[in-house]
Amino acid sequence: MSGVPASAAGRPAPAPGVRRVRLWNIANILTMGRLFLVPGFVLLMLHNGGYDPAWRSFAWAAFAIAMITDLFDGHLARTYNLVTDFGKIADPIADKAIMGAALLCLSALDDLPWWVTGVILAREIGITLMRFWVIKHGVIPASRGGKMKTLAQGVATGMYILALEGPLATIRFWVMAVAVVLTVVTGLDYVRQAIVLRANARAAESGR
């Protein structure tokens, strides 16, 4: 130890009570793991023509791992104060990447209508861009409906990835129908919240 204060040695002293969050923490590592799973999932999904039940099961396992880690990385980041700017950007990208890859593969294999994939992806990308559009005015929190939408999408997509037949194939159709309805309804609600948030912010600025 030199006994010289950090500020005197030319290094900025950390603010008291502020803990620096490392970029490579467990939450961000899980997020990156999800991103790396995407190409592996696609290879498993399309292997042997895309209709092999065994390989579809492996693809489902990769998809399930991605969905589970999505729950864990957010919980860890909030619980242990591991939130970083990188995580805020990478986490939603990882979510959209694995879901988008699954939906595109399913539609390419004619297992899922293209309009379903189009509606879901348009909503997810549009809402993400809208959040960035209004972020300077405030943050639109995730609603209960949004969480139900995410759950329904994950379950429905997972059921379509598996080579299901008979009653289970019928059930997955209705689960996907619920997911599409929730996707549209919650998307419209987020648009409403964004318009209100932006209008209130402008009103507050003009009233100064």
pLDDT of residue 26: 78
Of the candidate ranges 72-76, 95-99, 192-196, 202-206, the one whose mean pLDDT is the lowest:
72-76
pLDDT of residue 102: 97
The pLDDT tens digits of the residues spanning 177-200 come to 999 999 999 999 989 988 888 888
Give the whole-angstrom CA distance, residue 83 versus residue 80: 8
Number of C-alpha atoms within 13 angstroms, CB side, residue 182?
19
The pLDDT tens digits of the residues spanning 30-74 come to 888 889 999 999 999 999 999 999 999 999 999 999 988 877 766
Q: Is the predicted pLDDT of residue 118 greater than 80, yes or no? A: yes
Q: Coil, helix or strand for 188? A: helix
Give the whole-angstrom CA distance, residue 208 versus residue 205: 6
pLDDT of residue 23: 63
85-108 vs 144-161: helix axis angle to the nearest 10? 40
Model confidence at 117, pLDDT cuts 50, 70, 90, reads: very high
